[in-house]
A and B are shown apart, each in its own frame.
Chain A
Amino acid sequence: MKPTNIGAHDYFHKVVDCQWACPAHTPVPEYIRLIAAGRYSDAYMINWRSNVFPGILGRVCDRPCEPACRRGRVDKEPVAICRLKRVCADLKDDIQDRLPRAPEKKNGKRIACVGAGPASLTVARDLASIGYQVTVFDNGPLPGGMMRSQIPKFRLPDSVIDEECGYIINLGVETRYNQWVNSLRELVDGDWEAVFVGTGAPRGRDAPIPGREEAAKFIHIGIDWLANVAFGHTTTISKRVIVLGGGNTAMDCCRSARRMGGEDVKVIVRSGFEEMKASPWEKEEAIHEGIPILNMRVPKEFRHDNGKLTGVLFEIVRAEYDAKGRRSLVATGEPDEFHACDEVLVAIGQENSFPWIEKDIGLEFDKWGMPVLNEKTLQSTLPKVFFGGDAALGPKNIITAAAQGHEAAISIDLFCRGRKLDDRPPPMTNLVSQKMGIHEWSYDNQVSEEERKKVPVKALEKTLKDIKLELEMGFDPFMACAEAERCLNCDIETVFTVKTCIECDACVDICPTECITFTSNGEEDDLRGRLKAPAKNHEQALYVSDVLKTGRVMVKDENICLHCGMCAERCPTGAWDMQKFFLQCAEAGTEVKRT
């Protein structure tokens, strides 16, 4: 293999698994260390810069970082990254004087953002703080979009949404609430330099099976029902409720129903329990609240008595996989199963919907009704119109919406300045030695062996009675510190210098996870098998050095490196050093280097 180019900014970035997995590339280990040090406001600001909604995401993020966390590969569970994010939001001081201020003098360019959800608000923040005049349109009375309308209050209280949306609106963003935009043409033709569409995926998928129309009064679309609950239009539900679907919306529906008078609430899902789209922790919470999840059941018919729903009939299926691994659900032949209920919540998916976009203005849609976009720049076929969030590439999650908001803001800024959109500004990166003394590093390199901390919750009886009472209480400072110490500091990189190595093997002998080997070079597959501990995880890179004096090379399997720094402490010549890698994504307004 060729020597690894550690100068390439994505090499060490990939080693920081959590940051790499985060769509917004939040510098996770950096803020976790700040939490351990009690510097909550600093930790909050690092988050705020990258992901815009730390308090919100610290409660309801899909947390792609956690399955990626290296700790999960050497310990039972990953670091509770998401809940640590909440800690910095909960325990910070007033940070308003640290927020950017919009320049007094505007650049004279007006941007329209349609929808006041996470994607639009991110665009608004990034552009308003560099002098754009941004106007946000929303049909609702308040900012937040689906964060406010679809996520139940017991998971995400309004106060958190108000605070974090407020930071953005306070940048001088003009808001037009309660205003339904019914024509993109009007905006395109209007006095706007660019239009950003962040309207989400507002339409819940229906279950068009027999009985649907007749019993319509008792069958609700999940996200619409959640919005009605959020805004107080719906306050009760019948005792026996069936929730159809296996995603996070289904989990929110069943748990909300449980809090609104539902006593016998069940989730019934087509797929297997394991394949359900809901996050594992959401499923756990639902089960904890006494909600059974029945799987492998396809709804066949809504049974009713003259329009009054009596229950739902299900066909029992099993999963079969073809040669290509595609799943099909096949009836087992067992008799259909009838589940009695009074109301049904249908939470089987969400779709995009753009009834307000005229078909003849030059904005192309693909065969699935999604706008045709450049996935990198998020520009549509109508150059001044950009998309982001669920409206762009299909429903995902809040953190993806924020990440796309950043990218769209960069694109809009480049577009407004007449620059090429493909020339993206590079991230800011830095690599600095952390050595402070012979055995001293500027980070705590002792690896904690504690288990993952559980977030304390309020008593179930209490929370089931009040839908607005937040269930989780968040970590206290002591738990937060203990949890933060579990972080392996994967951003403190092991950097190897060939010229000073005397090949004494000290690093090989001390490495607790046996990830360093000195051997003759070879092709990657061959090399992976010859290491002291074979490197079976091909997702993770091998760090290969240049040729050493004996003709061998140093090969380090990045997979399970604990970043404990023992190799560097043991190295008699300082050939190993621990260096902090910091990467901050570019923001709108960053200049692209001219080459």
Chain B
Amino acid sequence: MTYLAKPKLLRADAPKNTLGYTRRDYEGAISTLCAGCGHDSISAAIVQACFDLDIEPHRVAKLSGIGCSSKTPDYFLGASHGFNTTHGRMPSVLTGAALANRDLTYMGISGDGDSASIGIGQFAHAMRRGVNMTYIVENNGVYGLTKGQFSATADKGSKSKRGVVNNDTPIDLVALALQLGASYVARSFSGDKEQLIPLIKGALRHRGPAFIDVISPCVTFNNHAGSTKSYDYVREHNDAVNRLDFILPRDQINASYAPGELRRIIQHDGSILHLRKLDNDYDPSDRVGAMNHLQERHALGEIVTGLLYVDSSAEDLHRHLNTVEKPLNQLGDAYLCPGSKALDALNAALR
């Protein structure tokens, strides 16, 4: 952990995106997490993804709950809207915000404790309602802030730092998300930014609930032999089904692939997901197949990563509820609060 703020000095030739921002402009305050925490890598991946996508920081809302992971929104996108909610309640606060203003990009940052324990109900309902958001779980399998007890995602049989074996069955948030109707589901690893950054980009440009479970080793409490969420274990058991290249409509596509190697998915906004197959039989549009594959590999001790499921024609909560397109803050008082006569008329219509 470092106490010093990053110096502002910058290389003269630091790359800038089309908005004229450097990567540094997408950073936040200095992280106070433990040195080597996977969460900081995820923050860096979010910074990179937003930089690459030319996202205007002030058009992003980042919401989180409680926990090490939920502290991280302070460490990226310092110029964005932020809301640190109560424990496990990020999804409902985010749902409310999204209903009030659909023009912002919503990012929910949570952890295995925040989403799989106290907030599992909230998580489930945000997924099934189809809230248009990018939901990232920074999953390290332990409660880091309270000294490293097993969390609900810790694998059965894995060992704590003190040698205690976990006997509880783990919750697989990816499996839950698939089952509950998330329309973009991925798993990645904080130690593999090449995989993670495009997945975040694809999620940010996806319409509908996009869920990414990111295995993020806790260097302090869960990075030892016997852990199934350590840097070494995840690297050894990482079973990626595909590699994603995220392509904006403006980008030129130079890479050439042999037939059958590549799957192209066009999202609602014209952005393209290029999926290079690593597992020939894997079909990311087959939800049931994805769930089966996940279970089979998990039984073998493998960690399936990559873009596991995507439905590019998915609809979201606004469509389901037929909400007004304009953000509420642009509608004006008279429209939002039409007065007692309008209420009377409405009541009369329902009688």
Residues of A within 8 A of B (CB): 73-75, 438-439, 445-447, 449, 502-506, 508-510, 512-514, 533, 536, 549-550, 559-560, 562, 564, 566, 569-573
CB of A205, distance to nearest CB on chain B (Å): 39
Of chain A, the residue at the smallest CB distance from B230 is A502
Residues of B1-32 at the interface with A, using a CB-CB cut-off of 8 Å, are: 1-4, 6-15, 23-24, 31
CB of B265, distance to nearest CB on chain A (Å): 27
With contacts A438-B1, A573-B36 taken as known, whether A504 is within 8 angstroms of B10 at the C-beta atoms is no
The answer to the question of B219 belonging to the interface, with a C-beta cut-off of 8 Å to chain A, is yes
Q: Inter-chain contact count A-B, CB under 8 Å?
A: 101
CA distance A571 to B37 in the complex (A): 10
Contact of A572 among B12, B23, B44, B219 (CB under 8 A): B219
Q: Do B14 and A514 touch across chains, with their CB atoms under 8 A apart?
A: yes
CB of B7, distance to nearest CB on chain A (Å): 4
CA distance A536 to B11 in the complex (A): 11
Q: Do B193 and A74 touch across chains, with their CB atoms under 8 A apart?
A: no
Q: Do A445 and B4 touch across chains, with their CB atoms under 8 A apart?
A: yes
Cross-chain pairs A/B with CB under 8 angstroms, 14 sampled:
A74-B12, A75-B9, A439-B3, A447-B9, A504-B37, A505-B44, A508-B44, A510-B2, A533-B11, A562-B9, A566-B6, A569-B1, A569-B2, A570-B35
Q: Do A504 and B2 touch across chains, with their CB atoms under 8 A apart?
A: no
Q: Please indicate the chain B residues that have their CB under 8 angstroms from the CB of A570 in the complex.
A: 1-2, 35-36, 40
Q: Please indicate the chain B residues that have their CB under 8 angstroms from the CB of A449 in the complex.
A: 7-9
Q: Do B9 and A504 touch across chains, with their CB atoms under 8 A apart?
A: no
Q: Please indicate the chain B residues that have their CB under 8 angstroms from the CB of A438 in the complex.
A: 1
CA distance A508 to B44 in the complex (A): 9
Q: Please indicate the chain B residues that have their CB under 8 angstroms from the CB of A505 in the complex.
A: 40-41, 44, 190-191, 193
A74-B10, A502-B231 known, 12 other contacts, Cβ within 8 Å: A74-B12, A439-B2, A449-B9, A505-B193, A509-B41, A509-B43, A509-B44, A512-B9, A512-B10, A536-B13, A549-B232, A562-B9
Q: Do B231 and A503 touch across chains, with their CB atoms under 8 A apart?
A: yes
Q: Do B11 and A513 touch across chains, with their CB atoms under 8 A apart?
A: yes
Q: Do B8 and A569 touch across chains, with their CB atoms under 8 A apart?
A: no
Q: Please indicate the chain A residues that have their CB under 8 angstroms from the CB of B4 in the complex.
A: 439, 445-446, 564, 566, 569
Q: Please indicate the chain B residues that have their CB under 8 angstroms from the CB of A445 in the complex.
A: 4
Of chain A, the residue at the smallest CB distance from B47 is A509
Interface centre among A439, A533, A559, A570 (most CB of B within 10 A): A570
Q: Do B36 and A506 touch across chains, with their CB atoms under 8 A apart?
A: yes
With contacts A514-B23, A550-B235 taken as known, whether A504 is within 8 angstroms of B7 at the C-beta atoms is no
Q: Do A533 and B14 touch across chains, with their CB atoms under 8 A apart?
A: yes
Q: Please indicate the chain A residues that have their CB under 8 angstroms from the CB of B165 in the complex.
A: none
The 10 closest A-B pairs by CB, nearest first: A572-B36, A447-B7, A509-B44, A569-B2, A74-B9, A504-B36, A512-B6, A572-B35, A560-B11, A572-B219
CB of A560, distance to nearest CB on chain B (Å): 4
Q: Do B223 and A502 touch across chains, with their CB atoms under 8 A apart?
A: yes
Of chain B, the residue at the smallest CB distance from A557 is B11
Of chain B, the residue at the smallest CB distance from A445 is B4
CA distance A367 to B97 in the complex (A): 84
Q: Do A510 and B6 touch across chains, with their CB atoms under 8 A apart?
A: yes
CA distance A365 to B2 in the complex (A): 62
Of chain A, the residue at the smallest CB distance from B3 is A439
* Majority DSSP secondary structure for residues of A touching B: loop
Number of interface residues of B (CB under 8 A): 35
CA distance A75 to B40 in the complex (A): 27
Q: Do B231 and A512 touch across chains, with their CB atoms under 8 A apart?
A: no
CA distance A175 to B186 in the complex (A): 84
CB of B217, distance to nearest CB on chain A (Å): 7
Contact of A502 among B15, B34, B36 (CB under 8 A): B36
CB of A3, distance to nearest CB on chain B (Å): 22
The answer to the question of B111 belonging to the interface, with a C-beta cut-off of 8 Å to chain A, is no
Q: Do A504 and B44 touch across chains, with their CB atoms under 8 A apart?
A: no
With contacts A74-B10, A74-B11, A74-B12 taken as known, whether A504 is within 8 angstroms of B231 at the C-beta atoms is yes
Q: Please indicate the chain A residues that have their CB under 8 angstroms from the CB of B44 in the complex.
A: 505, 508-509
Of chain A, the residue at the smallest CB distance from B23 is A514
CA distance A510 to B27 in the complex (A): 10
Binary contact readout B192-226 vs A (1 if CB under 8 angstroms, 0 otherwise): 01000000000000000000000001010001000
CB of B35, distance to nearest CB on chain A (Å): 4
With contacts A73-B12, A449-B7, A504-B191 taken as known, whether A566 is within 8 angstroms of B2 at the C-beta atoms is yes
CB of A565, distance to nearest CB on chain B (Å): 9
Of chain A, the residue at the smallest CB distance from B14 is A533
Of chain B, the residue at the smallest CB distance from A571 is B35
The answer to the question of B38 belonging to the interface, with a C-beta cut-off of 8 Å to chain A, is yes
Residues of B229-264 at the interface with A, using a CB-CB cut-off of 8 Å, are: 231-232, 235
Of chain A, the residue at the smallest CB distance from B13 is A536
CB of A512, distance to nearest CB on chain B (Å): 4
Of chain A, the residue at the smallest CB distance from B38 is A504
Q: Do A503 and B12 touch across chains, with their CB atoms under 8 A apart?
A: no
Of chain A, the residue at the smallest CB distance from B194 is A519
CB of B218, distance to nearest CB on chain A (Å): 11
CB of B233, distance to nearest CB on chain A (Å): 12
CA distance A43 to B33 in the complex (A): 39
Binary contact readout B161-199 vs A (1 if CB under 8 angstroms, 0 otherwise): 000000000000000000000000000001101000000
CB of A427, distance to nearest CB on chain B (Å): 30
CA distance A445 to B3 in the complex (A): 11
CA distance A533 to B12 in the complex (A): 11
Contact of A504 among B6, B14, B217 (CB under 8 A): B217
